[in-house]
């Protein structure tokens, strides 16, 4: 079952529980707008390469549509559609006045140079600039993108519409970005974990009574498994997110025994040296070399 089929199944189950009108249920399954664009750029060696980009605007009934832009080779219409729909439900459940959207380009960002990524982002923005707008549809970073990507989008969008810093979020602080933005997802996971564990009489540090069999999973941006019988956390996923989560867990006395990203994984049952690991990530942007040097049982 692909992402869209799973999302639609879950929505239909929720709709039955809520006794939603059949017409309303059907309308909420169909996105407001789906966009598919061709993005051709010159590479640094002069050759041309083409990618396909997507933007799905799911629903704007509660406010401007909001959702990230991801760069990943497996980006496809169904995945983007499902994630746009999920943004609608997340903002509604949290009672935030936004709708849902999502976008992306099917590419491997780690195989592109910085100038190539900039050209790709600019071409993509040229193709969708008439459809994103302040108070209409506001992109943000996601998998494979970051504040620099948003700066490029803002710059290109401003060529058509004038300087409009509010057209994207997750941009650099110097361009009007929000303090704490990069730490928000990982920090939010840690805070939510603290609240949940407190209901079981436990804490991240684990200085409390034993409670075996508890397992907590987060599958929004990365997975976080808590193993209370060993008092350890396992953090596989996107390093941009777990970077902050790992640091906060370490600072609170938790022991992280496994970490992974797209380049590899490392496991150490006695605990991973998080400060050194984070220095490595900041320097190289990936986990890979650390895996062979530091993995142990």
Residues labelled as active-site residues = 102
The residues facing 49 across adjacent strands are 41
Lookup: tokens for 256:
């992280």
* Dist. CA 111–CA 149, nearest whole Å: 16
- Please identify which residue in the block is written with the tokens 């603290």: 194
Q: Which residues pair with 67 in a beta bridge?
A: 139
Longest Cα pair distance anywhere in the chain, in angstroms?
63
How far are the Cα atoms of 73, 277, 290 from residue 264, in angstroms, in the given order?
17, 13, 9
Q: What is the 3-state secondary structure (H, E, C) of 44-66?
A: CCCCEEEEEEEEEEEECCCCCEE
C-alpha closest to that of 41 among 118, 103, 153: 118
Tell me the two tokens of residue 127. Answer: 């193709």
What proportions of the chain, in percent to the nearest 5, are helix, strand and coil? Answer: 45, 20, 35
CA dist., res. 194 & res. 192, Å (int):
5
Residue closest to 78 by CA, chosen among 102, 98, 51, 50: 102
């Amino acid at each position: 079952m692909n992402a869209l089929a799973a999302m639609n199944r879950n929505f239909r189950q929720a709709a039955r529980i809520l006794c939603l009108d059949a017409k309303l249920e059907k309308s909420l399954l169909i996105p407001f707008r789906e966009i598919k664009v061709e993005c051709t750029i010159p590479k640094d060696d002069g050759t041309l390469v083409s990618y396909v980009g997507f933007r799905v605007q799911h629903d704007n009934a509660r406010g401007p549509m909001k959702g990230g832009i991801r760069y990943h080779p497996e980006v496809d219409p169904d995945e983007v559609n499902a994630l746009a729909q999920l943004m609608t439900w997340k903002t509604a459940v949290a009672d935030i006045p936004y709708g849902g959207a999502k976008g992306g380009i099917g590419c491997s960002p780690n195989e592109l140079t910085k100038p190539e990524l900039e050209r790709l982002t600019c071409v993509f923005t040229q193709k969708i600039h008439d459809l994103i707008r302040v108070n209409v549809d506001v992109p943000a970073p996601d998998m494979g993108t970051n504040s620099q990507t948003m700066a490029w989008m803002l710059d290109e969008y401003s060529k058509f519409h004038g300087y409009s810093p509010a057209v994207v979020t997750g941009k650099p602080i110097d361009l009007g970005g929000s303090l704490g933005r990069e730490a928000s997802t990982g920090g939010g996971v840690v805070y939510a974990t603290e609240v949940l564990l407190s209901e079981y009489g436990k804490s991240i540090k684990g200085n409390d009574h034993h409670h075996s069999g508890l397992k907590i999973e987060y599958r929004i941006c990365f997975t976080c498994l808590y193993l209370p019988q060993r008092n350890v956390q396992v953090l596989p996923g996107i390093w941009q997110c777990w970077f902050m989560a790992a640091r906060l867990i370490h600072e609170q006395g938790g022991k992280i025994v496994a970490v992974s990203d797209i380049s590899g994984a490392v496991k150490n049952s006695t605990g991973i040296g998080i400060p050194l690991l984070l220095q490595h990530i900041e320097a190289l942007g990936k986990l890979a070399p650390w895996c062979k040097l530091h993995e142990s049982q």
